[in-house]
């Protein structure tokens, strides 16, 4: 689950250049832009901009403007030349205009990040207290997973901004630091930085700013980041406090809420239009859970797909080519202006039930749901938590994932599937229709017992590492497969005692080249250990597909902690579910003493999962739940 990273604003701002001549150049540029407004005659505009260079005697700003012009028209070689000219002439004048450096670095950072950093370091040497440069250096290190240097430059940026009483201008950096701290396993610091960033954005009245849409989008993304981060936090605040944070998102979204579903509505018996909204309608695990209900569409429903993704792949094409599905794209680079467009599209389609399958994860369009374009709105399976959006009526769950007596607060009403709220049918058979990866007959190896955690390493907190430590200490013959990036040095530093003490017992899993290689890892593992409090879903499914048992620790009153519990209890394996850390450790230790049990699991778990993942049965139960909820809903 990726997190939104705030990219520096690169718009030219003459505040950063102590050159009184710049306004004269910009006045002429404005006249040229006005002259060529609403025209595609770029050749004449280019000639006029070149004349501007001569008029202003090769002033560095004229070259920067030309570079901008070439960039917007895809003439990148000319763009690079002009930005370099601007840099050379600016260096002669020794002013503090840094935009050409920034623009050139942004163009290069994805293809040649080292060259981009060289350009920025060169500028930083001449402008050591320019926080725009420091910020971009931090972002480039961040994008290239060099977390130590990213954190260093983010902190420098904030210190410089504070010294100038301009902390509000670097408010997005606190979000980026939040993302870093989550990756580094410091969830409390991550959440604190998200809150700091959000509070600084809140102080700005974005309705009156030229870049109001950027402010609005950033506030939504930052709040999404914070809400997802709570699922990683072991010592979570009281339910009321967490729910207040969720409602803050609803407040932001409803600032723009000019619409309510107020049309007169007549309840239908059949022909219900159901629309799915997601940023993951491509080769993503969310699609495989969704596809289950597309395999046998109930005749009472018509299906619409609203994709919030600019990229196409084979899955996108599959959905577009389905004759029984209406596919639309609601992707907008800015939610501030895009929400009402999507609202009009959905109301135009006369959607009866609008279904969110992203929650607060990347690519969501909760801004659309805040406008209430459909009489009934639901959320399902893309995010194991409440959305906090008060305009969403229902959340689909089950009695094990979110028991009725749970103290967790939901903005939606819970409705229950009779079995697990997700079905693994299409995850089981997702390998392009090829045969499942073979599970060979398991043989006893009493000299070595293999545990595994293949969830992303950010889900491993101090409590998880402590549990692993106790398990390894109590089972002398055990080792553990751990999936993590070797370049996450700060994470390894944070848990250096663990990695040092158990270096002979840890088998690092960095990268698997193919789907087969990944799935075959489970054949080398005797028992998987689920992460907590953020339980696995996809990883748990993959483990069971490969007939490998999973021990989970289900924490009461937390949806995200009970997903694996739901999967295992629906498979009738309560012996694999723990309700305390001590029980989790004891179950793992006991597992190493019973190889016959491991052999039995390896022979039976896959078949049990396949039987439980009956596609036709799940479809019937799912559509019946949606239809019954619709019929009982008070409009």
Residues 406 and 309 in one domain: yes
Q: What was the pLDDT predicted at 16?
A: 46
CATH number of the structural domain spanning residue 400:
3.40.50.11380
Q: What was the pLDDT predicted at 12?
A: 41
Residues 418 and 503 in one domain: no
d(CA 78, CA 84): 10
Residues 358 and 472 in one domain: no
Q: Helices (H), strands (E): how many in the chain?
A: 26, 13
Is residue 586, in this structure, part of any structural domain at all?
A: yes
d(CA 566, CA 320): 33
Residue ranges in 295-442 assigned as alpha helix (H):
314-321, 335-348, 366-370, 425-428
Residues 392 and 283 in one domain: yes
**DSSP structural state of residue 453:** E
Show the tokens assigned to 531.
């992460």
Is residue 438, in this structure, part of any structural domain at all?
A: no
- State the residue for tokens 């799915």: 276
Pairing relation of β-strands 353-356 and 325-329?
A: unpaired
Residue among 177, 191, 234 at smallest CA distance from 461: 234
d(CA 443, CA 506): 22
Residues 386 and 473 in one domain: no
d(CA 351, CA 87): 54
Show the tokens assigned to 421.
């709220």
pTM attached to this predicted model: 0.91
d(CA 396, CA 394): 7
Is residue 491, in this structure, part of any structural domain at all?
A: yes
d(CA 165, CA 176): 20
Range of the domain at 578: 449-612
Burial class (CB in 10 A: 0-12, 13-18, 19+), 282: buried
**DSSP structural state of residue 448:** -
Burial class (CB in 10 A: 0-12, 13-18, 19+), 70: buried
Residues 6+ apart with CB under 8 A from 443: none
Q: How many residues does the chain have?
A: 635
CA-CA-CA-CA torsion for 87, 91, 97, 103, nearest 10 degrees?
20
d(CA 444, CA 592): 11
pLDDT along the chain (635 residues), means of 10: 60 51 84 80 90 90 92 93 91 75 92 95 91 93 91 96 90 93 93 96 64 77 96 95 93 64 80 97 94 96 96 93 96 73 93 97 93 95 95 97 95 97 92 69 77 94 97 95 81 90 93 87 96 97 97 97 98 98 98 93 96 96 98 93
Is residue 113, in this structure, part of any structural domain at all?
A: no
Query: Rounded to 5 degrees, what are φ and ψ at 504?
Result: -80, -15
Q: What was the pLDDT predicted at 210?
A: 41
Cα of first residue to Cα of last residue in the chain, in angstroms, is: 35
**DSSP structural state of residue 613:** T
Residues 368 and 504 in one domain: no
d(CA 513, CA 511): 6
Residues 292 and 416 in one domain: yes
Residues 6+ apart with CB under 8 A from 542: 427, 454, 518, 519, 522
**Contact at 8 Å (CB) between 541 and 550?**
no
**Contact at 8 Å (CB) between 387 and 246?**
yes
Residues 6+ apart with CB under 8 A from 255: 216
Residues 279 and 362 in one domain: yes
> Can you say whether the dihedral through the CA atoms of 406, 408, 413, 417 is positive or negative?
negative
Residues 283 and 347 in one domain: yes
Query: Rounded to 5 degrees, what are φ and ψ at 202?
Result: -65, -25
d(CA 249, CA 254): 9
Counted domains in the chain: 2
Residues 282 and 382 in one domain: yes
Q: pLDDT tens digits, residue range 83-140?
A: 999 998 887 666 678 889 999 999 998 899 999 999 999 999 988 989 999 999 999 9
Is residue 154, in this structure, part of any structural domain at all?
A: no
Q: What was the pLDDT predicted at 611?
A: 96
Is residue 134, in this structure, part of any structural domain at all?
A: no
Q: What was the pLDDT predicted at 512?
A: 79
Is residue 360, in this structure, part of any structural domain at all?
A: yes
Q: What was the pLDDT predicted at 460?
A: 95
Q: What angle do CA 340, 361, 395 make, to 5 degrees?
A: 80
**Contact at 8 Å (CB) between 171 and 154?**
no
d(CA 157, CA 208): 26
Residues 365 and 478 in one domain: no
> From residue 539, how far is each of 281, 459, 467, 518, 519 by CA, in Å?
20, 12, 19, 11, 10
CATH number of the structural domain spanning residue 531:
3.40.50.2000
Cis status, amide bond into 339, omega within 30 of 0: no
Three-state SS for 519-553 is HHHHHHCCEEECCCCCCCCHHHHHHHHCCCCEEEE
Residues 600 and 513 in one domain: yes
Is residue 80, in this structure, part of any structural domain at all?
A: no
Q: What was the pLDDT predicted at 434?
A: 56
């Amino acid at each position: 689950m990726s997190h939104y990273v705030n990219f520096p604003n690169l718009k030219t701002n003459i505040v950063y250049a102590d050159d009184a001549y710049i306004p004269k150049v910009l006045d002429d540029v404005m006249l040229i832009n006005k002259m060529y407004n609403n025209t595609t005659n770029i050749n004449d505009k280019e000639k006029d901009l070149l004349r501007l260079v001569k008029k202003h005697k090769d002033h560095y700003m004229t070259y920067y403007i030309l570079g901008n012009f070439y960039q917007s028209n895809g003439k990148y070689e000319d763009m690079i030349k002009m930005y370099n000219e601007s840099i050379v002439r600016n260096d002669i004048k020794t002013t503090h205009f840094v935009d050409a450096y920034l623009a050139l670095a942004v163009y290069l950072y994805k293809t040649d990040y080292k060259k981009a950093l060289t350009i920025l370091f060169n500028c930083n040497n001449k402008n050591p207290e320019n926080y725009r440069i420091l910020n971009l250096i931090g972002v480039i290190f961040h994008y290239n997973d060099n977390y130590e240097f990213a954190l260093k430059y983010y902190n420098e940026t904030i210190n410089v901004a504070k010294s100038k009483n301009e902390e509000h201008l670097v408010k997005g950096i606190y979000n980026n630091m939040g993302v870093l701290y989550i990756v580094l396993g410091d969830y409390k610091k991550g959440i604190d930085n998200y809150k700091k960033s959000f509070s600084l954005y809140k102080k700005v009245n974005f309705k009156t700013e030229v870049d109001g849409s950027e402010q609005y989008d950033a506030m939504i993304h930052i709040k999404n980041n914070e809400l997802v981060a709570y699922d990683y936090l072991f010592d979570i605040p009281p339910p009321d406090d967490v729910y207040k944070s969720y409602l803050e998102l609803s407040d932001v979204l409803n600032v723009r809420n000019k619409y309510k579903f107020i049309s007169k509505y007549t309840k239908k018996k059949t022909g219900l239009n159901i629309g799915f909204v997601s940023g993951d309608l491509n080769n993503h695990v969310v699609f495989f859970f969704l596809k289950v209900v597309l395999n046998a569409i109930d005749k009472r429903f018509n299906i619409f797909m609203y994709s919030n993704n600019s990229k196409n792949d084979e899955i996108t094409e599959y959905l577009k080519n389905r004759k029984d599905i209406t596919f639309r794209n609601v992707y907008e680079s800015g939610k501030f202006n895009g929400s009402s467009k999507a609202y009009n599209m959905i109301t135009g389609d006369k959607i009866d039930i609008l279904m969110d399958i992203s929650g607060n994860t990347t690519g969501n369009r909760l801004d659309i749901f805040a406008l209430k374009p459909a009489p009934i709105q639901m959320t399902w399976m893309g995010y194991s938590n409440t959305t906090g959006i008060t305009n969403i009526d229902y959340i689909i769950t089950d009695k094990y994932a979110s028991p009725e007596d749970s103290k967790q607060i939901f903005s939606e009403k819970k409705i229950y599937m009779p079995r697990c709220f997700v079905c693994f049918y299409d995850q089981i058979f997702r390998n392009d229709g090829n045969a499942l990866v073979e599970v060979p007959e398991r043989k006893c190896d009493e000299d070595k017992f293999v545990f595994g955690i293949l969830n992303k390493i950010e889900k491993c907190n101090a409590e998880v590492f402590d549990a692993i430590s106790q398990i390894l200490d109590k089972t002398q013959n055990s080792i553990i497969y751990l999936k993590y990036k070797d370049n996450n040095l700060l994470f390894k530093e944070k848990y250096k005692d663990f990695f040092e003490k158990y270096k002979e017992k840890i088998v690092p899993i960095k990268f698997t080249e193919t789907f087969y290689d990944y799935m075959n890892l489970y054949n080398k593992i005797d028992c998987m250990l689920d992460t907590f409090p953020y339980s696995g879903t996809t990883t748990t499914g993959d483990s069971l597909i490969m007939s490998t048992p999973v021990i989970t620790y289900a924490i009461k009153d937390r949806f995200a902690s009970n997903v694996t519990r739901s999967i295992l209890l629906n498979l009738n394996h309560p012996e694999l579910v723990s309700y305390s850390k001590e029980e989790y450790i004891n179950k793992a230790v006991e597992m190493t003493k019973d190889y016959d049990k491991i052999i039995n699991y390896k022979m039976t778990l896959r078949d049990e999962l396949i039987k439980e993942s009956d596609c036709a049965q799940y479809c019937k139960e799912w559509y019946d739940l949606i239809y019954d909820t619709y019929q009982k809903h008070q409009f």
